[in-house]
Amino acid sequence: MGDRIFLSSPHMSDEGYEMEYVQEAFDTNWIAPLGENVNGFERELADKVGSKAAAALSSGTAAIHLALKAAEVGEGDIVFCPTLTFSATANPIIYQNATPVFIDSNHKTWNMCPEALEEAFEKYSNVKAVIVVHLYGLSADMDKITELCKKHNVPLIEDAAESLGTYYKGQHTGTFGDYGIFSFNGNKIITTSGGGMLVSNNEEKIAKARFWATQSRDQARHYQHSELGFNYRMSNVVAGIGRGQLKVLDKRVEKKREIFAYYKRELEGLDGIDFMPKNEWDEPNYWLSSITLNGKVRPIDVIEALEKENIESRPVWKPMHMQPFFEKYDFVGNGVSEDLFENGVCLPSDTKMTHSDLERVVNNIKKLWCE
C-alpha cells in the first residue's frame, strides 16, 4: 500500500510566504483577533475578487450567519437554499430562527436550478433571502438567479466557500450577490486552517458585520453592548497564513484544473462514467474533481477500491432535504440532487498530488472495468 493520497489537504507555499506574515505577528506580539494581517487579508482578498469591502471571520459558516443577519433575516422568514450542499450553508438559517426551503439542482450546473427557484417564489411570498452555492468550484447560473432575486426584491447571498478562483463570465464568483462568503477551512483551495471572509460592495454592512463579530462592543470607555454580539473575528496569526496563501491562489487553481483534465482524459472512455459539467460561461477552479456513474460500476465500488489502496474519495454531498435534521422542511424540485448523490463520486484533488499519484488513482479505477 502506498502513501496516503488525500481528497484535498492543506498545501502551504513552497516560498514560505505564510511564515513571513506569521513571524511578523509573533515579532510584534500581535497575537489577537485584530492587527495588520487581519486588515491586510481583508484588503487583499477584496482586491483579488473585485469587491469593495471584506470582513475576516472565524469561519465561512460565521460569514453566512452574519450575511443573513445583515439581510435582516429573522424568526418566521423563509430562506431559499440549495439542497445539494454541505450543512454549513443551511445551519445559519436555523441560527436566525428562520425557515429553510430547499431548492433542487439541475444537471446543467449541478447547482441551484433557476426553474425550481422560480417555482419556489411562486409558492412562497414571505421570502427574506436566497443563498446560492457554487458547488465543487462550478458556478451556478448567476444571470437567471440574480434576475429572479431582483424581480422579487430579495437579497442574494453567494456561498462561494468552494469556488474561490472560479469565474462566471469573467467575474469572480462571490461578487454577484448582495453578500458573498469564502471559506479557508483546511480542505479548501487556500487555507488558514480555519476561517472565512464576508464580502460585499455595501461597505456600511461590512462595517456592521465586523461590529457584530467583535461581540458588538459599543464605542464607549467601559464595556457596553446594545446589540447581541458574536465572537467571530479572525486572529492575526490565521490572517497571516491567509495573506501568504492568497499569493499562490492562481497556482492552486491551475493545479486543480490540471488534475481534472487528467482524470477526464484518462477515464472518459469508460462505460457509464460522466464528469461534472462545464458551461461556456464558467471558468471553474475544480476544487473537487467529481464524476457520476450510471453503469455496472457504482460509486461505492470506486470508493472502496480506492480506500483499500489508501486513497481518499467521497460521495457527492447528501442533499439537505434527505438529512434527518432538515427533512421536515419543504423541498422544491424533481430529484436531480438525489440522482447526483446516488451516482456521484468526488475523486482525490489534492494540489500536492504528483503525476504518479494521479496514475495510481486512475489505474485502480480502471481495474473495476476489467473485473
Where among 221, 246, 271 does a domain terminate? 246
Q: Flag whether 26 is in a domain.
A: yes
What CATH number is given to the structural domain containing 151?
3.40.640.10
Identify each DSSP E strand in 235-322 by its residue range: 273-275, 282-283, 290-293, 314-315
In this structure, are 100 and 27 located in the same domain? yes
Are 256 and 305 in a shared domain?
Answer: yes
Q: Are 72 and 29 in a shared domain?
A: yes
Give the tens place of pLDDT for each residue, 323-334: 999 999 999 999
pTM above 0.95, yes or no: yes
pLDDT of 371 reads: 75
Per-residue pLDDT, 239: 98
4 CA to centre of own chain: 24
Where do we find the cell 492568497?
A: 246
Q: Please report, for residues 116, 265, 266, 275, 303, the alpha-carbon distance to residue 269 in angstroms, rounded to integers and kept in the order given.
A: 33, 8, 7, 11, 19
| In a shared domain, residues 134 and 268 | no
Domain boundary among 193, 216, 246: 246
Is the backbone of residue 14 left (phi > 0), alpha (psi -120 to 50) or beta? alpha
Residues of the chain with confidence (pLDDT) below 70: none
Look up cell 462514467; give the residue: 273
Co-location of 111 and 153 in the same domain: yes
Give the C-alpha separation, 245 to 314, whole Å.
Answer: 25
The predicted pLDDT at position 1 comes to: 72
Are residues 260 and 242 located together in one domain of the fold?
A: no
Residue 52 is predicted with a pLDDT of 98
Are 281 and 109 contacting, i.e. CB atoms less than 8 angstroms apart?
no
pLDDT attached to residue 33: 84
The CATH number of residue 303's host domain is 3.90.1150.10
Residues 330 and 345 in one domain: yes
Q: How many domains does the chain have?
A: 2
Q: At residue 341, what is the residue type?
A: F
**Half-sphere exposure at residue 334, Cβ-oriented, CA atoms within 13 angstroms:** 7
What stretch of H or E contains 63? helix 60-70
- Dump pLDDT digits (tens) for 249-292: 999 999 999 999 999 999 999 999 999 999 999 999 999 999 99
Would you state the cell numbers that stand for residue 318, as one nine-digit string?
A: 447528501
Claim to verify: residue 231 and residue 344 sit in the same structural domain: no
Q: What is the domain extent for residue 128?
A: 17-246
With respect to residue 5, please indicate whether it lies within any of the assigned structural domains.
no
The reply to whether 355 falls in a domain is: yes
